[in-house]
Structures are given as C-alpha cells and as structure tokens.
Amino acid sequence: MVETKQKTIQNNQEPELIEKKTYRIPIAWKASKEYKIEASSLAEAAILGVNQFLSEHHENYLNDSHVVEKTIKELNPNDTLDFDKLCADIINSI
C-alpha cells in the first residue's frame, strides 16, 4: 500500500508530497510459564511439560522457539540433572 500525504504548508510555499509505504516489522518477544508436573523423574517431568506446552495454543508463537530454562536446576535442587542430555531427550521426544 502506498499512501501520499501533503506536508504542512509553511510560509505560503507549495505543499510537498511525501510518499509513504507500508512496511512489515517483525518483533519477537519472550514469555515464560511454569508447569507443575507429576512424574517419576525431573527429566520425565520436563518432557511432559514441553509436550503440554506444545499442545496449548499460544498466539504469535514462533515455531520451535521454546526452550527449557536452565533454572530448572534451581527450581528442583534435590534432583541431579544432566541439562544437555535433558535437552537432547526433549528434542527426540517431539
């Protein structure tokens, strides 16, 4: 779409026509949500949580832009976890 507007006239000058175009500007943002999941292990719970997240509709969600935050370790201090292995397991479960 091209729109033409007149610039404000000052000092009795002829109006200057300025051509305006419509531009598409992509903007990405990050949101976070915490799930409470019952499971036999933290790794299983993380996989179930990701699957639950993916089953929900999130307006403007960018496909494959989800991540499990490393704070999962801080939120579950009594559980040992290999975060890199967990991420690989989640990818393989999708």
Q: Where are the domains of the chain?
A: 42-93
In the chain, pLDDT over 90 holds for what percent of residues? 12
What average pLDDT does this structure show over 25-31?
Answer: 74
Are residues 7 and 18 in contact, defined by beta-carbon separation less than 8 angstroms? Answer: yes
pLDDT of residue 60: 66
Would the pLDDT of 24 be above 70? yes
H helices, E strands: number in the chain: 3, 2
The enclosing H or E element of 84 equals helix 83-93
How many CA atoms lie less than 13 Å away from 71 in the CB half-sphere?
5
